[in-house]
Amino acid sequence: MTRSHWAWGPEPDASGLREIARLFTEATGLGEPTAWEPPALFSPALLPAPLIPVPPLPCCTDDPYERAVRTYGQAYRDLIRAYRGDFANAPDLVALPRDEDEVTQVLEWAAAQGVPVVPRGGGTSVVGGVEARFDGPSLCLDLSRMNRVLEVDVVSRAALVEAGASGPAVNDGLPDGLQLRFFPQSYEFSTVGGWIATRAGGHFATFHTHIDDLVESVRAISPAGVWESRRLPGSGAGPSPDRWLLGSEGALGVITRAWLRVHERPTHKVSVPVRFAEWPAAVAAVHDLAQSGLYPSNCRLLDAREAALTSGGDGRHAVLIVGFESADHPVDAWVSRALEIVGAHGGVAGESRQDQAWKGSFTRMPYVRNAYPGMGVLAETVETAVTWDRFPALHEAVMAAMAEEAGTATCRLAYAYPDGPAPYYTILAPAVKGAEVEQWDGLKQRVSDVVLRMGGTITHHHAVGRDHRPYYDRQRPDPFALALRAAKAALDPGGILNPGVLI
Ligand SMILES: Cc1cc2nc3c(=O)[nH]c(=O)nc-3n(C[C@H](O)[C@H](O)[C@H](O)COP(=O)(O)OP(=O)(O)OC[C@H]3O[C@@H](n4cnc5c(N)ncnc54)[C@H](O)[C@@H]3O)c2cc1C
């Protein structure tokens, strides 16, 4: 598949996009499909001339299309610039290594030349993690050709996977019956290396929420050498080397492979939608469920507006999806107890489902976003986590900050921990034509300030990148910043790895 120079997936069909725009306008009242703006056609002339010649390495190219499709991630801020044909920050070179030797060669060349390297997996970052937003030349090190499952340890239930493998590539490479139970919404294109580098969040709403929980060991190449941790089910031997690479965002080394914990494919799955007339009652139900020790695989609460937009809700009720799964035992007893808990808060259970149909709209959503630039709709998502005691005040303040942008703001609790939820906010608003990036930046600043002030984290699973960097600097302890800076200097003395993220 040839990926579009601007969209999620292949180049979308224009009439399909117009149809999405029409349905979306009907549902939200936003957008102007009659004033449809088509995307800029790709032309090599859209790209600045490369600042450096192609090195004598077979995996490197300066082909304009290869550079264009690797200019941005997938935030709305990125989407709108690519849609308009703005590739000012395109990497000068793209490297597509097939193995670790080629990764090492590229890093050695880049270190010798002092050329910054931006590691890239699926390019689905929504925080400016893969954009060379700095002066001078840059090289995009794209791991997508290193995409195999290399080994499976059926006894310990773990698999050694190359970093450039996408979600489908990992699961297609595993023996029948085993799966990596990790399904972020970007599953189709995001990669193992990207998940580890960003501490991505999967579909489990409780318990194994982050990729961290599924990582057994990691191997990375930095300018200072190869970093590989021992395969262990757990260890108390000092600070964990894996923890240094989890969330390293390409700044400390290039992750090349990892042992990941895999699971038996569940055979018992039940999912029940529960309706609530009042949001606070629904939140209280999630609180109690999160503290019950039942650890449902799904515990996703959608406010009434979000339920109406994404899951066929009636617009008046919040909807909690409660799901359990197991490869070992029927889950009915867990479901019954969970429904008792949420029923005590007024939750009314709908028909239970085996198929988890909500997943259909979850995975289609990225394609819907393709219609936003053409129809003049700006979109932004804000995700955080906060303790239960602070959640009501944070929620009120974030919704108020979002309401300053005319449009529609929604919330879902995407993850639920015993000590707090991870709320995920979406805003869709009329875009200010020609000033969308400034509009998005203003919104990001307003809401991020509120999130930090109200005790939340700047990100629960989308990572820091360049867009969250000012807020991450405020959130982390100063001595930790010193330690991180020293680690970066030791591993990457020339400072070539993804400059501008983290430190
Ligand atoms: C529609 C949509 C839905 C999304 N849903 C989710 C979701 O459900 N959960 C979630 O957590 N996130 C989600 N995201 C965000 C994004 O998919 C994640 O951050 C994902 O982990 C990025 O993986 P990637 O392979 O695309 O990495 P990229 O975007 O290519 O890179 C992200 C960062 O990781 C670094 N990096 C990538 N590969 C390597 C490597 N091999 N070695 C070192 N550094 C590397 C890059 O330098 C960059 O800093 C979503 C994004 C979109 C657009």
Q: Which atom of ligand 1 is nearest to the CA of 74?
A: 53
Residue 435 lies in a domain: no
E strands present in 55-185: 60-61, 93-95, 117-120, 139-142, 149-153, 158-162, 178-179
Residue 434 lies in a domain: no
Residue 214 lies in a domain: yes
Q: Which atom of ligand 1 is nearest to the CA of 189?
A: 26
Domain hosting 163: range is 149-264
Out of 125, 204, 372, 502, give the residue to mutate to test ligand 1, the one with the largest number of ligand atoms within 8 Å of its CB.
125
Q: Look at residue 357 in the predicted model and tell me its pLDDT.
A: 55
Ligand 1 geometric centre to CA of 183 (Å): 13
Could you tell me if 139 and 110 are in contact, meaning their C-beta atoms sit under 8 angstroms apart?
yes
Residue 273 lies in a domain: no
Ligand 1 geometric centre to CA of 197 (Å): 8
Element at 152 (helix H, strand E): strand 149-153
Ligand 1 geometric centre to CA of 251 (Å): 14
Which protein residue has the closest C-alpha to ligand 1 atom 21?
A: 195
Ligand 1 geometric centre to CA of 34 (Å): 34
| Residues within 6 Å of ligand 1 by CB | 73-74, 118-126, 129-130, 143, 163, 184-186, 190-191, 193-195, 197-198, 200-201, 249-250, 254-255, 366, 461-463, 498, 501
Residue 39 lies in a domain: no
Nearest to 158 by CA among 170, 146, 147, 143: 170
Q: Look at residue 356 in the predicted model and tell me its pLDDT.
A: 53
Question: CA 279, CA 461: separation in Å to the nearest integer?
Answer: 24
Q: Look at residue 354 in the predicted model and tell me its pLDDT.
A: 57
Q: Which atom of ligand 1 is nearest to the CA of 253?
A: 43
Counting the structural domains of the chain, the total is 1
Residue 424 lies in a domain: no
Ligand 1 geometric centre to CA of 195 (Å): 6
Ligand 1 geometric centre to CA of 352 (Å): 33
Q: Which atom of ligand 1 is nearest to the CA of 501?
A: 49
What CATH code is carried by the domain that includes residue 205?
3.30.465.10
Q: Which atom of ligand 1 is nearest to the CA of 166?
A: 25
Could you tell me if 152 and 178 are in contact, meaning their C-beta atoms sit under 8 angstroms apart?
yes
E strands present in 236-297: 254-261, 263-264, 268-276
Q: Look at residue 358 in the predicted model and tell me its pLDDT.
A: 59
- Tell me what ipTM this predicted complex has: 1.00
Q: Which atom of ligand 1 is nearest to the CA of 210?
A: 11
Please give the structure tokens belonging to residue 36.
């449809």
Instruction: Give the pLDDT confidence of 299-314 residue by residue, as tens digits.
Output: 999 999 999 988 888 9
Residue 194 lies in a domain: yes
Out of 120, 145, 501, give the residue to mutate to test ligand 1, the one with the largest number of ligand atoms within 8 Å of its CB.
120
Q: Look at residue 439 in the predicted model and tell me its pLDDT.
A: 97
Residue 462 lies in a domain: no
Question: CA 461, CA 209: separation in Å to the nearest integer?
Answer: 9
Ligand 1 geometric centre to CA of 343 (Å): 37
Pairing of strands 60-61, 149-153: unpaired
Q: Average pLDDT of each block of 10 consecutive residues along the chain (503 residues)?
A: 94 92 86 83 98 97 98 98 98 98 98 98 98 97 98 98 98 97 96 98 96 98 96 96 97 98 97 97 98 97 94 92 97 98 98 65 86 95 98 98 92 98 97 96 97 98 98 97 97 98 95
Ligand 1 geometric centre to CA of 449 (Å): 23
Per DSSP, the residues of 334-357 read HHHHHHHHHHTTT-EE---BSS-T
Pairing of strands 263-264, 178-179: antiparallel
Q: What length does the chain have?
A: 503
Which protein residue has the closest C-alpha to ligand 1 atom 5?
A: 185
Ligand 1 geometric centre to CA of 484 (Å): 21
Ligand 1 geometric centre to CA of 105 (Å): 24
Ligand 1 geometric centre to CA of 166 (Å): 10
Out of 190, 252, 254, 457, give the residue to mutate to test ligand 1, the one with the largest number of ligand atoms within 8 Å of its CB.
190
